[in-house]
């Protein structure tokens, strides 16, 4: 461990380093690599962060969760990224015993029954694998942005992640707009998920994601049968920002 990651230490490390995403990513690598990894679902935001991360060091770590229910287009994008950067993506799968039990007892679409049933599926396929992925890390990077949803409107760039042992959680693009993200993707010709060209704005598991209509909130196509306040899968339970 390079540092004991108290909130005061984290705050001192990050003071004056929260403005420019490239600087945030570089600072994160300098402080925490190899105990730092980017959680990638190959969203547009993740593509920006992978590009920034690989520019700092080619062996920076990227992990991804294969829920078993992803769209083929998401796998295509992941492969395109792997080839472009030569990055070894650390894939995590759900515990097969838990998926087998869920599907045998409740079928293949139990998540549509209720919020609790959906959270059960998300826990098995995402939250528990994430816990394993984060084990041993001091910090993780995410592509979250405030603009994405009401549940993310107060998102800090840096927070201590109480839900994951108090490690540091970093969202370099927290205050970026969707337009800024697209501008970066286009300027750098990043290979992106083709579902974005079909009206998708936020892409998760295939049966829980649909395209959105013009003017709808960016995450309106995720679990569209639920209220906006419930639209988190449990991966991003907000901790608290370090004191400044
Ligand atoms: S997004 Fe849907 S299919 Fe994927 S883990 Fe959550 S409930 Fe299950």
- By alpha-carbon position, which residue is closest to atom 6 of ligand 1? 122
Stretch 166-195: mean pLDDT: 96
For residue 69 and ligand 1, the question of a CB distance below 6 A is answered with yes
Task: Look at residue 207 and tell me if it is in a domain.
Answer: no
Q: Which one of 70, 233, 234 would you pick to mutate in the ligand 1 pocket, going by the greatest count of ligand atoms within 8 A of its CB?
A: 233
Distance 12 CA to ligand 1 centre (A): 38
For residue 111 and ligand 1, the question of a CB distance below 6 A is answered with yes
- By alpha-carbon position, which residue is closest to atom 4 of ligand 1? 205
Distance 8 CA to ligand 1 centre (A): 36
pLDDT bin (cut points 50, 70, 90) of residue 111 is very high
Task: Look at residue 199 and tell me if it is in a domain.
Answer: no
Task: Look at residue 235 and tell me if it is in a domain.
Answer: no
Stretch 30-44: mean pLDDT: 97
Structurally, the chain folds into a number of domains equal to: 1
pLDDT bin (cut points 50, 70, 90) of residue 18 is low
181-203 pLDDT, tens digit each:
999 999 999 999 999 999 999 89
Q: Is the peptide bond before 68 cis (omega within 30 degrees of 0)?
A: no
> Residue 17's pLDDT is what?
57
Stretch 51-74: mean pLDDT: 97
For residue 68 and ligand 1, the question of a CB distance below 6 A is answered with no
- By alpha-carbon position, which residue is closest to atom 2 of ligand 1? 208
Q: Indicate the average pLDDT of the chain.
A: 90
CATH number of 26's domain: 3.40.50.620
Q: What is the pTM of this model?
A: 0.89
Q: Tokens 């991360």 identify what position?
A: 53
Task: Look at residue 78 and tell me if it is in a domain.
Answer: yes
Task: Look at residue 48 and tell me if it is in a domain.
Answer: yes
pLDDT bin (cut points 50, 70, 90) of residue 150 is confident
Does residue 243 carry a pLDDT above 50?
Answer: no
pLDDT bin (cut points 50, 70, 90) of residue 238 is low
Q: Which residues are catalytic?
A: 233
Distance 208 CA to ligand 1 centre (A): 6
Distance 207 CA to ligand 1 centre (A): 7
> Residue 140's pLDDT is what?
97
Task: Look at residue 87 and tell me if it is in a domain.
Answer: yes
Give the domain extent around 79. 7-194
Does residue 92 carry a pLDDT above 60?
Answer: yes
Task: Look at residue 34 and tell me if it is in a domain.
Answer: yes
Stretch 41-61: mean pLDDT: 97
Q: Tokens 């402080």 identify what position?
A: 31
pLDDT bin (cut points 50, 70, 90) of residue 242 is very low
Task: Look at residue 220 and tell me if it is in a domain.
Answer: no
């Amino acid at each position: 461990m390079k540092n004991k990651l108290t909130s005061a230490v984290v705050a001192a490390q990050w003071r004056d380093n929260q403005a420019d995403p490239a600087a945030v990513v570089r600072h994160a690598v300098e402080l925490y690599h190899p105990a730092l990894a980017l959680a990638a679902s190959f969203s547009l935001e993740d593509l920006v962060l992978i590009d920034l991360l690989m520019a700092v060091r080619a062996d920076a770590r990227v992990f991804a969760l294969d829920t078993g229910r992803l769209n083929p287009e998401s796998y295509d994008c992941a492969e395109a990224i792997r080839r472009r950067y030569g990055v070894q993506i650390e894939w995590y799968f759900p515990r097969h015993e838990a998926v087998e039990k869920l599907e045998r007892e409740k079928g293949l679409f139990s998540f549509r029954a209720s919020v609790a049933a959906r959270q059960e599926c998300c826990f098995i396929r995402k939250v528990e694998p994430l816990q394993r992925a984060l084990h041993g890390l001091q910090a993780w990077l995410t592509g979250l942005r405030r603009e994405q949803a009401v549940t993310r409107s107060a998102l800090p760039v840096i927070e201590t992640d109480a839900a994951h042992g108090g490690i540091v959680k970093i969202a370099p693009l927290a205050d970026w707009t969707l337009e800024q993200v697209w501008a970066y993707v286009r300027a750098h010709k990043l290979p992106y998920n083709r579902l974005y060209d079909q009206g998708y704005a936020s892409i998760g598991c295939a049966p829980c994601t649909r395209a959105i209509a013009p003017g709808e909130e960016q995450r309106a196509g995720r679990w569209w049968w639920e209220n906006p306040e419930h639209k988190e899968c449990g991966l991003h339970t907000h901790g608290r920002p370090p004191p400044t």
